[in-house]
Amino acid sequence: RAPSPRPIMTNTDLARLINSDEIQSVVRPAKTDAQRPKAPKKNPLKNLEAMLALNPYHKLHRDSEMRAIEARTLAKQAKIKALRDGSYVKTEDEIQKAKDKAARKANSTAFYAQASVEGDVRF
């Protein structure tokens, strides 16, 4: 036969016990300045300040990119203006690209014509 459970506390009025003068004189005061909840983490790819905190060099890199974008925009505007005026002269690189494109087009057309005649090449 199991023994009947015996109460551990004789006085179970906890609120009265905790608020009693004997207990309150021993217990240290409650902390009033609780820790505030943490703010959500900022995405460094979208937030410039967060990126600069992680990578201070990013400011220099970003400024360089902005200058390059501005230079490309100005060059494109100047090219468009020259094309409209009729004073634009193609560079050697542009001439070579046009020749390569024409050669590829001719080769592609010849291959397609030959493949169509043979009839055994499927696309």
- pTM of the full predicted structure? 0.47
How far, in Å, CA of 75 to CA of 65, rounded? 15
How far, in Å, CA of 104 to CA of 97, rounded? 11
Q: How far apart are the first and last CA of the chain?
A: 90
Given a cut of 90, whether residue 122 has pLDDT beyond it is no
Chain segment 86-104, per-residue pLDDT in tens: 999 999 999 999 999 999 9
33 is written with which tokens? 């300045």
Chain segment 48-92, per-residue pLDDT in tens: 999 999 999 999 999 999 999 999 999 999 999 999 999 999 999
Place of tokens 């300045």: 33
